[in-house]
Amino acid sequence: MRAILSIDQGTTNSKAILVSETGELLARGSSPVGITYPQPGWVEQDPNRIWASVREAISACLGAAPSTTDVAAISISNQRESVTIWDGETAQPLGPVLSWQCRRTAQDCAELIEKGHSERVMALTGLPIDPMFPGAKMRWLLERAPKGRKLRLGTIDSWLIHCLTGGKVHACDASNAARSQVLDLNRQVWSEELCDLFGIDINTLPDLRDSSGDFGVSLGVPGIKDGTPILAAIGDSHAALFGHGAFKPGDGKVTFGTGSSVMTTLPHFIAPERGITTTVAWRLGGKPTFAFEGNILVSAASLPWMTEILGLPDVAALVELATKAEANGPGFVPAFVGLGAPYWDTNARALFSQINFSTTRAQMARAVTDSIAFQVHDVFAAMRAQSPSGFGRLFVDGGPSQNRFLMQCVADMLEHPVIQRDAPEASALGAAYLAGLALGVWSDLDSVAALNSNGNTIAPSASENSQRLSVWRDAIARSTLPVTRSNGE
């Protein structure tokens, strides 16, 4: 029985699944990945630990697979905007993985903005200058790497391709490249202008390839026969969009996790205004499909935090408590590491607003759960103002997407139906489908869309949103006020 082994390397864990030629999930495995915080605002990971967790996930997956399974191809989906550096000859990391959450380059980004580079960078890349994106982080790594080495820089897909091929291939796909801030989106090439701006040696960057195609063959991977083709690589949010079959302009998805990614496909490239970004959803046959995206830095991560604050046993208890509160309580902004789309305010701070002596625990819980929907609402408002195709089907995935109450809040705030799917492996499935296209298992996008056509549609209810939005906007305004510092800080 031929199957595709799909790796999903995320921020907190690595997963592997086996997908049959009929689209059936045959087995799964996972392994945790650690995160360290060496200084306030610094977030990093160990490249070797990431690779070890992938091997462990593969081993667990293969161990749970039917004995007759033959791995015909490998695919990769990965956390985006995280970047690392290694020696191309020894394969040894020369620095940590700087996470997408890492803010250590905030000052470098501020200086680029002050020098007037924002408009040009946005026009070329579709991305604002912000510490989330790899451009400034790549320079940070290069400045601290040993001299005289054959340096290789890359996002996590390129690091895994290097590891899977025994160092033979240095490549990445167009969707990951589109998040690097050194890709010219229109020309689909690494930009010498942007590399010069960020101080990056263009020769250290990986070969740029389609999301579905040749990424080399396996070499020395435990449990995988040498020569197994690697036929897909794609960023995890893009992979989820593909996995849902969101192929028509206006179709979109919201992935809920530590943060949230809101993405809708476009009929063609559109330079975004400030607030949202334009990205390559995927590239097939040399032709990119573009998408609007809004990245919310902290979304579901606020739920366990509030659970602990209120002394509740688990997140389910927090959500249950929130259902008991009327939607007229305080506002909450989860700006623990600043705000992403559509505000892009590094200096924003987390806060509750409009608290008084009558505020209840249930209202506090509701404010936190509502903040997930409010942030998605604000991103969609920015997209709606700029989208030529309107909105079509809207899929939701990630752990919180399975909670009916949370998703009803999202549908109500957007005044648009959302489609729940029981697809915890949406990103891995999307990557597997891309590999299946390259392998010839599925002939076209229509056959891929037919693999996963079921879902539970949640229609918006006739709720009153104006008062809730007023409280939210007041909280946002307070969160983004300039910080007054004292004692020379």
What tens digit of pLDDT does each residue of 401-458 get?
888 999 999 999 999 999 987 666 888 999 999 999 999 999 888 888 888 767 789 9
Domain boundary among 235, 250, 284: 235
- Name 28's Cβ contacts closer than 8 Å, sequence gap at least 6: 15, 16, 17, 18, 60, 61, 64, 425
Assign residue 80 the CATH number of its domain.
3.30.420.40
- Asked if residue 83 is part of any domain, the answer here is yes
Q: Are 104 and 39 in contact (CB under 8 A)?
A: yes
- Asked if residue 377 is part of any domain, the answer here is yes
Measured CA to CA in angstroms, residue 425 lies from 10, 77, 149, 370 at distances of: 11, 10, 38, 25
Q: What does the pLDDT average to over 343-356?
A: 88
- The residue with greater pLDDT, 389 or 360, is 360
Tell whether 100 and 228 lie within a shared domain: yes
- Asked if residue 405 is part of any domain, the answer here is yes
Nearest one of 442, 433, 450, 441 to 17, comparing CA atoms: 433
Determine the Cα–Cα distance for residues 121 and 130; give it in Å rounded to an integer.
11
pLDDT of residue 487: 44
Is residue 286's pLDDT more than 60? yes
Tell whether 180 and 323 lie within a shared domain: no
pLDDT of residue 483: 56
Q: What does the pLDDT average to over 160-177?
A: 96
- Asked if residue 66 is part of any domain, the answer here is yes
Tell whether 125 and 223 lie within a shared domain: yes
- Asked if residue 163 is part of any domain, the answer here is yes
Tell whether 308 and 230 lie within a shared domain: no
Residue entry with tokens 């000859």:
89
Residue 90 has φ and ψ, to the nearest 5°, of -90, -15
pLDDT of residue 480: 85
Q: What does the pLDDT average to over 163-172?
A: 95
- Asked if residue 287 is part of any domain, the answer here is no
C-alpha triplet 387, 393, 399: angle, nearest 5°: 110
- Asked if residue 431 is part of any domain, the answer here is no
Tell whether 303 and 223 lie within a shared domain: no
Nearest one of 82, 66, 57 to 6, comparing CA atoms: 57
Number of C-beta neighbours around residue 59 at 10 A: 15
Q: What does the pLDDT average to over 47-63?
A: 96
β-bridge partners, 395: 253, 419
Domain boundary among 187, 217, 235: 235
Determine the Cα–Cα distance for residues 428 and 30; give it in Å rounded to an integer.
12
Tell whether 349 and 462 lie within a shared domain: yes
Could you write out the DSSP letters of every residue in 102-113? --TTHHHHHHHH
Residue entry with tokens 């893009």:
238
Q: Which long-range contacts (CB under 8 A, 24 or more apart) does 69-72 make?
A: 69/1, 69/3, 69/18, 69/26, 69/27, 70/1, 70/2, 70/3, 71/3, 71/4, 71/5, 71/18, 71/224, 71/225, 71/228, 72/2, 72/3, 72/4, 72/228, 72/439
Cis peptide preceding 460, ω within 30 of 0: no
Determine the Cα–Cα distance for residues 213 and 284; give it in Å rounded to an integer.
8
Q: What does the pLDDT average to over 169-195?
A: 95
- Residue 87's domain comprises 2-235
Q: What does the pLDDT average to over 206-235?
A: 95
